[in-house]
Amino acid sequence: MPTAEAADPVPMDENDLRLLIGPASLTAQELAATYPAGVPIRLAAFVAQKKGLEQIEDAIRDFRFNATHVGESSSRQIHVLVIGETGRPDRWQLNGYSRPTTPRLSRIAEVVSFTDTVSAWAWTRMSVPVILTRKSPQDSRAFFQEKSLIAAFREAGFKTYWLSTQSPLGPHDSSIALHAREADYSRFLNPTDYRGAGVHDGVLLGPLSDILAQNEPRQLVVLHTLGSHFNYADRYPAGFDKFRPSQTGERAPSLHDSSQKEAMNNSYDNSIYYTDWLLSEIIERLRSTDSRATLLYVADHGENLFDGACTKSGHGHSTEFDFRVASMWWNSPQYGRARPDSIALVRERRDAALSTSHIFHTMLDAADIHYPGQDLSQSVLSANWTRRTRPVQGGYDFDASARDPVCLSLTRAPQRS
Ligand SMILES: [Zn+2]
The amino acid occupying position 92 is W
How many Å apart are CA 183 and CA 353, to the nearest integer?
Answer: 31
Q: What is the number of other CB atoms lying within 10 angstroms of the CB of residue 63?
A: 11
Q: How many CA atoms lie within 13 A of 383 on its CB side?
A: 3
Q: Which amino acid is at 365?
A: D
Nearest-angstrom CA–CA distance, 183 and 185: 5
Query: Could you tell me if 116 and 92 are in contact, meaning their C-beta atoms sit under 8 angstroms apart?
Result: no
**CA–CA dist 168, 176 (Å, integer):** 8
126 C-alpha to ligand 1 centroid (Å): 9
Q: Helix crossing, 358-366 with 124-132: angle to 10°?
A: 40
CA of 358 relative to ligand 1 center, distance in Å: 18
- Interval between CA 54 and ligand 1 midpoint (Å): 23
- Tell me, in angstroms, the distance from the centre of ligand 1 to residue 229's CA: 7
Separation of 172 CA from ligand 1 center, angstroms? 9
d(CA 318, CA 219): 37
C-alpha 283 to ligand 1 mean position (Å): 23
SS (H, E, C) 246-294: CCCCCCCCCCCCHHHHHHHHHHHHHHHHHHHHHHHHHHHHHHCCCCEEE
pLDDT at 46: 76
Cα(31) to ligand 1 centroid in Å equals 24
Compute the distance from residue 235 Cα to the ligand 1 centre, in Å. Answer: 14
Torsional sign, CA 307, 310, 315, 321: negative
Report pLDDT for 39: 62
* Cα distance between residue 219 and residue 190, in whole Å: 23
Cα 303 to averaged position of ligand 1 atoms, centre (Å): 9
Question: CA geometry: angle at 104 spanning 101 and 106, to 5°?
Answer: 80
- pLDDT attached to residue 4: 32
Q: Rounded to the nearest whole angstrom, what is the distance from the C-alpha of residue 114 to the centroid of ligand 1?
A: 19
DSSP per-residue string spanning 331-376: E-HHHHHH-HHHHHHHHHTTTS-EETTHHHHHHHHHTTEE-TT--G
Cα 257 to middle of ligand 1, angstroms: 20
pLDDT at 350: 98
Counted residue by residue, the chain has a size of: 417
Residue 402, judged by CB atoms within 10 A of its CB (0-12, 13-18, 19+), counts as exposed
Ligand 1 centre to CA of 122 (Å) is: 7
Bridge partners of 218? 77
Q: How far is the CA of 320 from the centre of ligand 1 (A)?
A: 15
- CA of 94 relative to ligand 1 center, distance in Å: 22
Distances from the Cα of 386 to the Cα of 292, 368, 379, angstroms: 26, 19, 9
pLDDT tens for each residue of 259-276: 999 999 999 999 999 999
Which pLDDT belongs to residue 170?
72
| Cα 196 to ligand 1 centre (Å) | 15
Q: How far, in Å, is the centroid of ligand 1 from the Cα of 192? A: 16
Cα of 124 from ligand 1 centre, angstroms = 4
How many angstroms does the Cα of residue 319 sit away from the middle of ligand 1?
Answer: 15
171 Cα–ligand 1 center, Å = 13
**140/166 Cα distance (integer angstroms):** 22
Return d(Cα 241, Cα 3) in angstroms, integer: 13
CA 66 to centroid of ligand 1, rounded, Å: 31
Q: Is 6 exposed, middle or buried (0-12, 13-18, 19+ CB in 10 A)?
A: exposed
C-alpha 290 – ligand 1 centre gap (Å)? 33
Q: Which of 328, 334, 304 is nearest to 410 (CA)?
A: 304
194 Cα distance to chain centroid? 14
Within a 10 A sphere around the Cβ of 23, how many other Cβ atoms?
A: 9
| Segments in the chain below pLDDT 50 | 1-33, 35, 417
For residue 415, the model assigns a pLDDT of 52
DSSP code per residue over 93-120: GGGT-SS-S-HHHHT-TT-EEEEEEE-S
Span from the CA of 364 to the centroid of ligand 1 (angstroms): 24
